[in-house]
Amino acid sequence: MTTDMAGLVGYKVEASDGHIGKIDRHSEYVGRQFVVVDTGPWIFGRNVVVPAALVARVDDENETVHISATKGEIKGSPDFESGQHEDDVAVIRLIEQYYANRHM
């Protein structure tokens, strides 16, 4: 399994119920890792942030990352604009809160 998040850039991303896009970039802050997923035409080219804790498994052979969230959960995640929110701790915390409370 790949442990270097940078090594996952370009991998396909599968939610628990289907394909959602590919990893566009990753970020690693102390205590905070996440990947930015480019959803392509699936949700109008929107980029979404997925906390690294939701990575269920990595299939290096097929270059695929499996996420423990549904397509609907990912589609409903808070807005994220690449180039603007990577360093915005409040936005990242909001996204983390969203995924932490998705069972509600």
Residues 23-68: pLDDT tens digits? Answer: 987 776 556 678 888 888 767 778 888 888 889 999 999 999 999 9
Tokens representing 38 are 């480019």
pLDDT for the residue 19? 94
pLDDT at 17 over 90: yes
Q: Which residues, 6 or more positions from 33, have their beta carbon under 8 angstroms from its beta carbon? A: 5, 26, 27, 51, 52, 53
What is the pLDDT at residue 104? Answer: 43
The reported pTM is: 0.76
CB 25 within 8 A of CB 37: no
**75: pLDDT strictly greater than 90:** no
- Name residue 100's amino acid: A
Say which CATH topology domain 5-100 has. Answer: SH3 type barrels. (2.30.30)
Cβ proximity of 13 and 64 under 8 Å: yes
- Let me know how long the chain is: 104
